[in-house]
Structure 1
Amino acid sequence: MDKEVDVLVRRAVTVLAVAALTACGTDESPTPQAAPTSPSPSASAPALPAPAGPSPSASAAPGSTPELPLGGTRIFPTYRVVAYYGTAGTATLGVLGEGTPDKMLPKLRAAAKPFAGGRKVQVAYELIASVAQAGPGRDGDYSQMIPMARIQQYVDQARRNKVLVILDLQPGRGDFLPQARQLERFLVQPHVGLALDPEWRMPQGKVPGRTIGKVGSGEVNRVSDYVAGLVKRHNLPEKLFVLHQFRSSMLPDVARIKKQPGLAMVQHVDGFGTRSEKDATWNRLRRPQQFHLGYKLFYDEDIKRYGAKDLLKFKNVPELISFQ
């Protein structure tokens, strides 16, 4: 680990006050992310009784076709999606958790407005639904789902305010598909998509925060096939299906990830650091021939953080931009 990377890592520990630190390889991205702590950050928030299924108002009226929050059934190229990332009840894992959805939405709209670039801006919440843990937990998978009632709070508020929701999974030693199936009540709603974060998909024997994880194309394809099946079965508009990545090793056989009908499949290039470090990651990883492209901006960890004018000048302008 070179000196500059070490400074960034130490800064992340101080700013985010986490107990574990993501490992940083020497031949890969110089922009690691900080690991969540255990127990789940939502534990401090009061749990509400979980509803039995999706809200009745989530479905389109009889005889009508469900649409996206701002209209239509295709996300790209009509919209540029700008999201706040985080989880409920804590700011440690991202800006979204700094307040309630009602408090954060005006700030998100203001942050998103400059990114239009000739498109309509569609704001989104990227809510971490399952949080990787430093300990094994009751079922030994080093991951914990936040309360379903918390997810319902964001999904319902988003629907009322024409916001997309992206439910993010950090499965620890578990598999992405069983966790995705737990969220079906939300995924059958027209404004809810899914994100997979391979950083927190651990091989057996490895612990989140000590090892940067990975996921193979077979597992990704099983999850995307499941979500695409929901879209077809429920006649839903196109859904975001997001893959986070800041190292090539996180998606080792990325070329074998299949496109799926009904899904806007996004390769989301993450990682914090200087502009030159982020440029190196972006240039090395992006696959515009295979995916729509996403990009993450870090409020605290980025050095000379890119602004909207900068990103709109990129070769392959990102179509999904998130703030952490």
Structure 2
Amino acid sequence: MGFSGAPGTTALGPLTGNLDRAAQRLSEQARAYASDRPVLPTFELLATRATSAPGPDGKYRSRAGDEVVRRYLAAARRAGGVLLLGIQPGRADFLEEVRYYRKWLTEPDVGLALDPEWAVGPSQVPGQTFGSTSGQELEAVADYAAGLVREHNLPQKPLVYHQLAPGIVRDEQLLTPHPGLALIKSVDGIGSPALKTDTWKQLTSTKPPYVAAGFKLFYEEDTSGGGRLMSPEEVLGLRPEPSYVLYE
């Protein structure tokens, strides 16, 4: 179970500011999900963040520096958890961004979370249109990450890909199983419990059988306009049951 976030803003999730305090809040939230399976605290740091400005190289993204990743990883370790590096590539390629964090991905407790909603084309601007990716692009990232696991004799590494709506991930079946990787599709639908459940059913129906299901909740967006957050009991009642639950 995880929290998302980035330094300097609460808009991207509760994982910001005092990270030990955020870890305590995560631990409290996770108690509601306790079952016969242990709950692994997961810090999903938005490492590469899509931007509305092109930046020096015109890629419409900014990258977290080593000091930021180091601080988040240290906090995740103090919490007994893992760190996922979130990637919103803008006009860059997912694989290009993943390779940038190679030295961190050779750590045993660092995985990946890809956010294709923010992967836009060469004439598009993040936030003005939905981005997308393909199973072929996911497969390239998975192949690279699995290679690092083999090369460095690492434990299994999570590779999450988020999907907000249909069409954001194409040809999903081209993503194949990889030894050393735990593949997870996180369904990120926003809105009422009924809307989120409908999105869940629609997007999990296209999930390859070897990809685990994940579910994302939004403390602010899901409750705007007088709405309510789905309860842990409702989340655990989804079928297939989510293996990964993320709060933003």
Q: Quick check: TM above 0.5?
A: yes
2:232 is aligned to 308
- Correspondence 1:201 to 2:119: yes
Check conservation: 1:273, 1:301, Cα contact below 8 A. yes
Contact (CA 8 Å) 1:155, 1:186: kept in 2 or not? no
Deviation at 1:267, TM superposition (A): 0.4
Q: Secondary structure at the match of 1:295?
A: strand
Deviation at 1:186, TM superposition (A): 1.1
Quote the residue 2:244 is aligned against: 320
Q: How does 1:251-262 map to 2 (within 5 A)?
A: 251-262=169-180
Deviation above 6 Å: which 4+ runs of structure 1?
none
Whole-angstrom CA distance in 2 between matches of 1:289 and 1:157: 33
Return the alpha-carbon distance in structure 1 between the equivalents of residues 165 and 234 of structure 2: 23
Counterpart residue number, 2:196 = 278
Match of 2:86 in 1: 168
Aligned counterpart, 1:86: 5
Mind listing any 5+ residue stretches in structure 2 that lack a counterpart? Answer: none
1:156 to 74, 78, 83: 74
Distance 1:288 1:275, change over 3 A: farther
Instruction: Report the alpha carbon displacement of residue 288 of structure 1 after superposing the two structures with TM.
Output: 6.0
Tell me which residue corresponds to 1:192.
Answer: 110
CA distance in 1, matches of 2:23, 2:80: 11
Is the counterpart of residue 289 in structure 1 residue 209 in structure 2?
yes
What is the aligned counterpart of 2:133 among 215, 221, 238?
215
Q: Determine the structure 2 residue equivalent to 1:268.
A: 186
Is 1:298 aligned to 2:222, yes or no? Answer: no
Q: 1:248 aligns with which of 163, 166, 176?
A: 166
After TM superposition, the score normalised by the length of structure 1 is 0.73
Which residue is equivalent to 1:35? Answer: none
Match of residue 100 from structure 1: 18
TM-score under structure 2 normalisation? 0.94
Q: Secondary structure in 2 aligned to 1:226?
A: helix
Q: CA shift at 1:304, angstroms?
A: 2.0
- Who is 2:147 aligned against? 229
CA drift of 1:224 comes to: 0.7
Q: Percent identity?
A: 37
Following the alignment from structure 1 to structure 2, what is the Cα–Cα distance between the partners of residues 254 and 288? Answer: 7
Does the CA contact (< 8 Å) of 1:136 and 1:142 recur in 2?
A: yes
By how many angstroms is 1:272 displaced? Answer: 1.3
Question: What is the count of residue pairs matched by the alignment?
Answer: 242
Distance across 1 between alignment mates of 2:59 and 2:231: 38
Structure 1: state its 5+ residue gaps: 1-81
1:166 to partner: Cα distance? 0.7
CA contact (8 A) 1:117 1:312 kept: no
Computing the radius of gyration over CA atoms, which structure comes out larger, 1 or 2? 1
Query: Residues 136 and 171 of structure 2 are in contact (CA less than 8 Å); yes or no, is this contact kept in structure 1?
Result: no
Which residue identity is paired with 1:322?
L
Query: Does the CA-based 8 Å contact 1:245-1:251 persist in structure 2?
Result: yes
Preserved CA contact (<8 Å) 2:46 2:87? yes
In structure 2, what is the Cα distance between the partners aligned to 1:219 and 1:252? 10
Which structure would you say has the larger RCO, counting Cα contacts within 8 Å and 6 or more residues apart? 1
Q: Deviations over 1:168-216 (max 9, x none)?
A: 0001000011111111111111111001110000011000011100012
Partners of 1:220 and 1:191 in 2: how far apart?
20
